[in-house]
Amino acid sequence: MTAFLILCLLAAASVHGDVTGRFSWFSSPDDTEDPQMEHVCLTDQASCGCCLMQQQMKRMEEFFNMSLNELQSSLQMTTNIINSVRASRSAFSVALTDVRVCLGPYRDIRPVIYKHVFINLGDGYNTTTGIFTVPRSGVYSLSLTVYSDSGSPGASLDACATLIVNGATMFGPHDRNDQDQEDSSTNVVAMQLQAGDQVAVNLPIGCFLCDNNSHFNTFSGFLLYATD
């Protein structure tokens, strides 16, 4: 009776597989008819039932192995995507200094090297050269804030700097005011950059910056999304 119930359940599963088109327990493209099976079933029904059960167990094993392989393939694909996302992470945010310092005004253009690091994910920013080297092609958000309080009452004050990519000026926050002793300005842009591009900040002629451990002068960037 138990064997009969098992065969009935397997038969029902076979019908469901045929309807959905996913899998058939009792038939597959590679099945071949056993010429001895019909004779055995006519002469020995007990042996026939045992053989049928073994065949269905084999098909079940093949089905579960196939499902396991598909799951393993999906897991590997997901793992590769996650690793790719982790490898492409890039973000930096730096400030001018931790102590009181003023830069400029100079008679020539000077690089601005930011020494205080808030974050440097991916190690793209170099605190020795002041250059951010783009690790992966994509769209980046870049921001630059300038501040100075080194002017005297009634004197002209130029708080300014320029952001450059591969030596070419992209933008520059600038605030000129002769009515107070503090000025600041900020620019934020999204830019398409290529792997290996070098992004830095210059101090133009006549500009000066002042900062302390309040970190008024900052330079930041992060990858919005990769394009390669």
Confidence of residue 41 (pLDDT cuts 50, 70, 90): low
pLDDT digits (tens, 9 = 90+) for 132-178: 999 999 999 999 999 987 656 666 678 889 999 999 999 988 776 66
Whether the Cβ atoms of residue 221 and residue 164 lie closer than 8 Å to each other: no
Indicate whether 28 pLDDT > 60. Answer: no
> Cα separation of 28 and 60, whole Å?
12
Q: Can you give the length of the chain in residues?
A: 228
pTM of the model: 0.63
- CB-neighbour burial class of residue 156 (10 A; exposed 0-12, middle 13-18, buried 19+): exposed
Lowest mean pLDDT among 46-50, 71-75, 199-203: 46-50
Task: State both tokens at 108.
Answer: 């020539």
- Decide: 177 and 157 in contact? Cβ < 8 Å: yes
Residue 19 main-chain phi, psi, to 5 deg: -70, -45
Distance CA 57, CA 79 (A): 33
Each domain of the chain, given as residue ranges in start order, spans: 2-26+35-86, 89-226
Does 2.60.120.40 match the CATH number of domain 89-226? yes
Q: With a cut of 70, say whether residue 62 has pLDDT above it.
A: yes
